[in-house]
Amino acid sequence: MNKLLGEVDPQIVEITAKDLTRQQDSLMLIPSENYASRAVMEAQSSILANKYAEGYPGERYYNGCQFMDDVESLAIERAKALFGVEHVNVQPHAGSQANMAVYHAMLEPGDTILGMSLDQGGHLTHGANVNFSGNLYNIAAYGVNADTERIDMEEIARLAEQHRPKLIVVGATAYPRHFDFAAWRQIADAVGAYLLADIAHIAGLIAGDVHPDPAPYADVITTTTHKTLRGPRGAMIMCRAEYADKIDRAVFPGLQGGPFLHTIAARAVAFKEASEPDFKTYQAQIVKNAKALAERLIENGFRLVSGGTDNHLMLMDLTSKYEKLSGRQAADHLEDAGIIVNKNTIPFDKRKPRTTSGIRLGTPMITTRGMKEDEMVSVADFITETLENRQKASIKRQIREKVKELCAQFPIYEYLE
């Protein structure tokens, strides 16, 4: 019981150490990822992992939960203060489960949801036909305007009037512009729909006051707690007080049993970190870095979907420069050079999701490391040089060394056995 990991399982230690090296020596540009702090990771690996605590604070089904109540209550109060909401449920294990719980609470199977199409930037749980949401509910999908590649609110209003959804989902995984939540509220009210804001990608930006706030407008808000919020992997649901009982019952006992109190403790730590003044500085720098990276990529001849970014991410249309290069191929070539992105469909993509015509880039992780606008110019140039010389292994190796040198100037935490 008292042996350290290195004594019990050196194979896991070896794999973890290798991935630390990968993370340290690579430019991590996937916008849905981030580095959790040492404090967050310490809480997540604590003895709180040993306890079952089905139920909610003060209403548990197991004895011995007084300190579990303290942890969960603390996380709830910190989240309420951070986002200015009336009720929070911190138990969902993942963003998909959070969205499922909201649908379970607010809808009946067969009800209509208006959500963003997956191939236009939405999420699986916004109505994709391969997901539970597309199977259990009637989905009316919206996307972006073909000319501007931005959401057209007049078109959203038209679709809402046509389909009369019971719930409208505003949120995305690959949309580089702001959401006007007040406008979405007006549309929801016009057709008598609930408004769900899925802020999984932009929660940190909202907490940092660099993105419009959904709290005054949405009936329910879901988010993951990693990504820009920079906490542990997990999720939470925020809502108006009138929906609190429905939401809580949908999470437990509706969809989950025992919550992960060690992860909830780590979320509480992340919420505390996000309440500090330097977190707002960090979020502002994420946006500054994204704009700088986008501007340099455009200068280097790439076309970005919608012409740039307002937030932490951007979508690069590879077809504008390399007709035959797919997103999958580009991501693999960039990984050869130590640059980690993900393949991603672009609006009206002619390629399939496993191939794609685009790649998705983001700045949360490199901003966490301390990089700023000057480094974004270097990053954009590394990307450009790699794709221009994608068939030349020797040049990709040279770029990888340059990437490693840049990363060495901005180290992440060291691995401790």
Residues serving a catalytic function are 52, 54, 198, 224, 227, 233
Distant-in-sequence, close-in-space partners of 9: CB < 8 Å, separation ≥ 6: none
Q: List Cβ<8 Å contacts ≥24 apart for 143-146.
A: 143/116, 143/117, 143/119, 143/347, 144/120, 144/175, 144/306, 144/347, 146/347, 146/348
CA distance readout (Å), 378 to 113, 135, 285, 385: 43, 45, 16, 10
